Amino acid sequence: MVCFIGRSNVGKSSLIKALFSLTPEVEVRVSKTPGHTKKMNFFRVGKAFTIVDMPGYGHKAPRDFVDMMVVTKIDKCGSGTLLTNLLNLQDVVKTETTSCFPQPFLIR
Ligand SMILES: Nc1nc2c(ncn2[C@@H]2O[C@H](COP(=O)(O)OP(=O)(O)O)[C@@H](O)[C@H]2O)c(=O)[nH]1
Ligand SMILES: [Mg+2]
């Protein structure tokens, strides 16, 4: 089972939708209004695999959530800002995380 967690409106549902665009049983709803996903949504993919679209976590998310890192909406900022953010992120990954995958996944 793989859960997609993160703050509200960061693009979790959109990411699942993009990743599983060829899997008809994954019927993810993406909404313009933040906080739309209120329940956990479970989707079976084949026999052995389930993905979970979680509701958003706010600013009080546990600190160790920092260990899980996909960078979404990279189209929202210019390349200079993106580079600065990625360098800062690299720093956070190096100094504050233990199990984070060293290569961030950039999504837009
Ligand atoms: N510009 C931009 N908008 C995005 C991206 N991913 C998602 N969105 C938009 O952000 C909003 C929230 O997306 P959603 O997937 O519902 O976020 P969730 O609350 O984390 O599940 C929607 O209006 C999406 O169309 C992205 O990479 N770039
Ligand atoms: Mg959602």
- d(CA 36, CA 29) in angstroms, rounded, equals 9
pLDDT tens digits, one per residue of 73-97: 999 999 999 999 999 988 888 888 8
CB-based pocket (< 6 A), ligand 1: 6, 8-14, 30-32, 36-37, 56, 72-73, 75-76, 107-108
* Cβ < 5 A residues, ion ligand 2: 12-13, 37
57 phi and psi angles, rounded to 5 deg: -100, 140
Mutate to test the pocket of ligand 1, among 4, 14, 19, 77 (most ligand atoms within 8 A of CB): 14
Nearest ligand 1 atom to alpha carbon 7? 20
- The span from the CA of 75 to the CA of 78, in Å, is 7
- Which residues 6+ apart lie within 8 Å of 8 measured at CB? 34, 35, 37, 55, 56, 57, 58
What's the pLDDT tens digit per position in 1-42?
888 988 888 899 999 999 999 998 899 988 777 766 678 899
Note whether 20 and 26 are within 8 A (CB): yes
**12 burial class (0-12, 13-18, 19+ CB within 10 angstroms)?**
buried
pLDDT at residue 61 is higher than 70: no
25 against 59, higher pLDDT = 25
In the chain the first and final C-alpha atoms are separated, in Å, by 24
